[in-house]
Chain A
Amino acid sequence: MTPVHPQLQEIVDDFAAVSDKDRLQLLLEYSQDLPALPERYAEHRDLLEPVPECQTPLFLAVETGPDSVVHLFFEAPAEAPTTRGFAAILHAGLDGLSADEVLATPAEFSSQLGLQELVSPLRLRGMAAMLARIKRQVRDQRG
């Protein structure tokens, strides 16, 4: 299996270390920690990319700086904690990494979180879609 970056691996390990019941609780905690949009996006929603593959619409923005450091921004409603949780995992796991490190993240990493049985594969597709869109934007921005 392709290794994931240590920053993301730490989250994967946290999920792997707990029981099923606590794993849902952990996802909920992540969802509560998703950072709010900074003003420059909150006031310009048109700059956000929709991710229709998520059950509840999610919006994201990606910034790749001149130093090649990637920053991620997400917006999902409070009534969609699962989607928010997925976004928060990607934020905590990938924000601040280099473009190359983000692009090296294996598409199937979400299967290592142990959420299939708890959340269902269909719902997990949303996370894979977010990652795919993030990578595409990073590739575009790097030019």
Chain B
Amino acid sequence: MALPYDSAPKFQEYAHPEMIVSTEWVAEHLDDPGLVVAESDEDVLLYETGHIPGAVKLDWHTELNDPVTRDYVDGEGFARLMSAKGITRDTTLVLYGDKNNWWAAYALWVCSLFGHPDLRLVDGGRAKWIAEGRPVSTETPQRTPTDYPVVERDDKRIRAFQDQVLAHLGQPMIDVRSPGEYTGALLHMPDYPQEGALRGGHIPGARSVPWARAAAEDATFRTRAELEAIYAGEAGLRPEDDVVVYCRIGERSSHTWFVLQHLLGYPHVRNYDGSWTEWGNSVRVPITRGDSP
């Protein structure tokens, strides 16, 4: 049975308040049957240093990706993964992580490809839980494997591929990378490894809205009014728009996808996970350099 929603007033402003919970809510419901909390971080060892008691670990590199093809796990792989974590199709799966929930949002997006019915993100993620002095544990919970069904991944609704993005040129697109990556001055994130793009710049027509603008100082999401000022006001998106978001490998843009789809309620938002590491290496695709879309 699904757990109750978090009735915090801030969340009620969002289009889908059922997709987000506060740290208080997590603390209150931690022992409820039907709940699994999962931590997803950039750093593969951060979970081991201490996590929300009872939380399982979900690693983007080693668990959500296919080990050979550049793709996510398939239906069977996902079912195996969920089963091993003790998650059933009825589980309320609550995700949190480091860096403003960057990787947790990515994990949530991948789980959404498999249509897991009840997914939620912890507002403020790991940083807020720790800043509030809430308990952490280094104990890895022993989960009983479940009978998670094999559900085929649905790549049509919220995922975009390169040929679809080419066909989408001229329609709304958001580039969520840093300004330097957007203009083409940088081929990779500031202070991060070069992940191999041969050309710099952005997809023609894409507007620049760096992903972290959606987060406040304490790693929580900005209020609906603040988010609307950014995405509807500055970036000119309208709810009826068909929107494609992208970054470098699709992780930062999962965060923006979550904001547009679930907090602002735009129904047609797709994440182009090939992102710049595909586009910036492709032969004869159009590229724009500089600050203008």
Q: How far is the CB of B47 from chain A (nearest CB, A)?
A: 9
Judge if B42 is at the interface, Cβ distance under 8 Å.
yes
Complex Cα distance, B194 from A129, in Å, reads 12
Q: How far is the CB of B132 from chain A (nearest CB, A)?
A: 16
Complex Cα distance, B194 from A117, in Å, reads 21
Judge if A28 is at the interface, Cβ distance under 8 Å.
yes
Contact string, B189-220, partner A, CB cutoff 8 A, digits 1/0? Answer: 00111110000000000000000000000000
Judge if B143 is at the interface, Cβ distance under 8 Å.
no
Q: For B195, list chain A residues within 8 Å (CB).
A: 122
Judge if B157 is at the interface, Cβ distance under 8 Å.
no
Q: For B49, list chain A residues within 8 Å (CB).
A: 28, 78, 81
Contact assessment for B44 and A80 in the assembled complex, using a CB-CB cutoff below 8 Å? no
Complex Cα distance, B48 from A61, in Å, reads 28
Complex Cα distance, B194 from A21, in Å, reads 29
Contact assessment for B48 and A55 in the assembled complex, using a CB-CB cutoff below 8 Å? no
Contact assessment for B192 and A55 in the assembled complex, using a CB-CB cutoff below 8 Å? yes
Judge if A37 is at the interface, Cβ distance under 8 Å.
no
Contact string, B72-85, partner A, CB cutoff 8 A, digits 1/0? Answer: 00000000000000
Q: How far is the CB of A74 from chain B (nearest CB, A)?
A: 16
Contact assessment for A27 and B45 in the assembled complex, using a CB-CB cutoff below 8 Å? yes
Interface residues of A in 8-32 (CB under 8 A from B): 24-25, 27-28, 31
Contact string, B50-80, partner A, CB cutoff 8 A, digits 1/0? Answer: 0000000000011000000000000000000
Judge if A53 is at the interface, Cβ distance under 8 Å.
yes
Contact assessment for B193 and A53 in the assembled complex, using a CB-CB cutoff below 8 Å? yes
Q: How far is the CB of A35 from chain B (nearest CB, A)?
A: 18
Q: For B48, list chain A residues within 8 Å (CB).
A: 24-25, 28, 81
Judge if B43 is at the interface, Cβ distance under 8 Å.
yes
Contact A123/B191 with A25-B48, A28-B45, A85-B45 known, Cβ cut-off 8 Å? no
Q: For A82, list chain B residues within 8 Å (CB).
A: 43-46
Q: For A78, list chain B residues within 8 Å (CB).
A: 49
Complex Cα distance, B43 from A54, in Å, reads 11
Give the size of the chain B interface in residues (CB under 8 angstroms).
Answer: 15
**Which of the residues A50, A120, A129 comes within 8 Å of B61, measured between beta carbons?**
A120
Contact A118/B193 with A28-B49, A123-B61 known, Cβ cut-off 8 Å? no
Judge if A65 is at the interface, Cβ distance under 8 Å.
no
Q: How far is the CB of B222 from chain A (nearest CB, A)?
A: 22
Contact assessment for A117 and B43 in the assembled complex, using a CB-CB cutoff below 8 Å? no
Judge if A126 is at the interface, Cβ distance under 8 Å.
yes
Q: For B192, list chain A residues within 8 Å (CB).
A: 52, 55
Contact assessment for B61 and A79 in the assembled complex, using a CB-CB cutoff below 8 Å? no
**Which of the residues A27, A50, A55, A119 comes within 8 Å of B193, measured between beta carbons?**
A55
Question: Which interface residue of A25, A27, A79 has the most chain B CB atoms within 10 A?
Answer: A79
Judge if A56 is at the interface, Cβ distance under 8 Å.
yes
Judge if B98 is at the interface, Cβ distance under 8 Å.
yes
Contact A52/B193 with A118-B62, A120-B61 known, Cβ cut-off 8 Å? yes
Contact assessment for A50 and B45 in the assembled complex, using a CB-CB cutoff below 8 Å? no
Contact assessment for B98 and A79 in the assembled complex, using a CB-CB cutoff below 8 Å? yes
Contact assessment for B42 and A120 in the assembled complex, using a CB-CB cutoff below 8 Å? no
Q: For B191, list chain A residues within 8 Å (CB).
A: 50, 52, 57
Judge if A125 is at the interface, Cβ distance under 8 Å.
yes
Q: Nearest 10 pairs between A and B by C-beta?
A: A120-B61, A81-B45, A53-B193, A82-B45, A57-B191, A28-B48, A82-B43, A52-B191, A28-B45, A82-B44
Chain B interface (Cβ within 8 Å of chain A)?
42-46, 48-49, 61-62, 98, 191-195
